[in-house]
Structure 1
């Protein structure tokens, strides 16, 4: 079949100013069904691009399996490097950032992506607590007891007291992504205590963002989730100080608070 002759256009090519687009990176687990959607919903909708890469992970969600991601982070981060200057990179796994360690996560990502601010859900939660003046928390996780215990130790080591800690006993993060809104609300309220300053809903896989505002209204206190804290920290680090989507909770009314992300780990 013959085709017409192909020739170059006579129009000159113009390019948009790279600074017009705020670019963020996201490293998600291969089995993560929630983080991308939540981040897109919570970051500003205009002039923002989210570049996603994934890191291999094998269920069940145990501390041992979470640690196995450590040597894979640099390669995953390296896939984000061609995206151009990034305002921040989020490693979207709360439990893994705790068992691996925030500093080791940042070092591994820097090896692949260079000098870019790194947000972990655990470190972002610490900044959220500081911004809200929270000292005593109640916690809900979808994990097993074994996987939840390092989280309790992490927060205690950073000077927070824990009023009550509940977990749902799930081993597969794909199941965590399927927990219903009603189950999250009921379990969160059961985990709450009158003397807790705030509720923390752990896990980037659990779709807690859907119900933060409703739980805050019922409990009468701030509710922080892994994906909400990460998105808030990325927005503030990325220069969006006035981005305040009220449907995602009281946290978005707050500026970034000391300690900085680097000091919080």
Structure 2
């Protein structure tokens, strides 16, 4: 019996916190998916603007991308929401363009993955449950507004380090989501790739009764979309049940 040729989508991930979401996603997605991951340099683990600008700098991402290219990847995503939206819309576009110049492959970032995922699901109004400090969370709201998404509720948990975010377990994640949803929102967004969510995506949506988009979920979805994977898949929320739409463009105009 022939096995399907895997779609291999490369993940650039800063430091160590919830990177084990990607093996979980790979297992749940099936035998035709590979999500090789390279850890990028994090000189300081801090959800603070100056530290995030360094985490997402051109040199740091280029070094990680060159290592990732040896893994036979078909696409690359910079799997760090705050390390992309902190540059603003134009800066995040430039970040992806410079990274793509290194990879020579379809390339994107988690911030744009949220925008593309929202478009795929036809979302207009969203609530945001951010683990970040309030000033960083506000920059994510600005990014979403630049994509014509209305943020009807913005919540901040105020956690400084990715390492601390990565310690939050299932019950804490579900209760954080439920406490920060809004009846006016079409979906809830949870934007930190340091937050474990992969194993609980369907539970989150059952709890809220609406789509929930999380950072590692949309990162994997975007990377697989760029790698040409189009199949709808169960067990990972409404986004994966919707498929990818088949277009392989990266950051939007």
CA–CA distance in structure 1, aligned partners of residues 252 and 162 of structure 2: 26
**Can you list the C-alpha shifts for 1:149-189, whole angstroms capped at 9, x where unaligned?**
11010001110111111111100100000112212211211
* Alignment correspondent of 2:37: 52
Alignment of 1:45-194 (within 5 A): 45-57=30-42, 58-69=44-55, 70=57, 71-84=59-72, 86-100=73-87, 101-113=91-103, 115-194=104-183
Asked whether the 8 Å contact 2:153–2:181 carries over to 1, the reply is: yes
Alpha carbons of structure 1 residues 209 and 21: separation in structure 2 relative to 1, 3 Å: closer
Asked whether the 8 Å contact 1:127–1:259 carries over to 2, the reply is: no
Aligned residues: 242
Deviation at 1:28, TM superposition (A): 1.1
**TM-score, normalised relative to structure 1:** 0.83
Name which one, 1 or 2, has greater alpha-carbon Rg: 1
Deviation at 1:262, TM superposition (A): 3.2
**TM-score, normalised relative to structure 2:** 0.87
Deviation at 1:196, TM superposition (A): 0.6
Of residues 228-237 and 196-205 in structure 1, the stretch that sits farther from structure 2 once superposed is 228-237
Alpha carbons of structure 1 residues 243 and 235: separation in structure 2 relative to 1, 3 Å: farther
Q: Which runs of 5+ in 2 are unaligned?
A: none
Asked whether the 8 Å contact 1:74–1:110 carries over to 2, the reply is: no
**Can you list the C-alpha shifts for 1:102-148, whole angstroms capped at 9, x where unaligned?**
322223323432x2111311111111111111100000111111211
Deviation at 1:230, TM superposition (A): 1.3
Q: Which runs of 5+ in 1 are unaligned?
A: 1-18
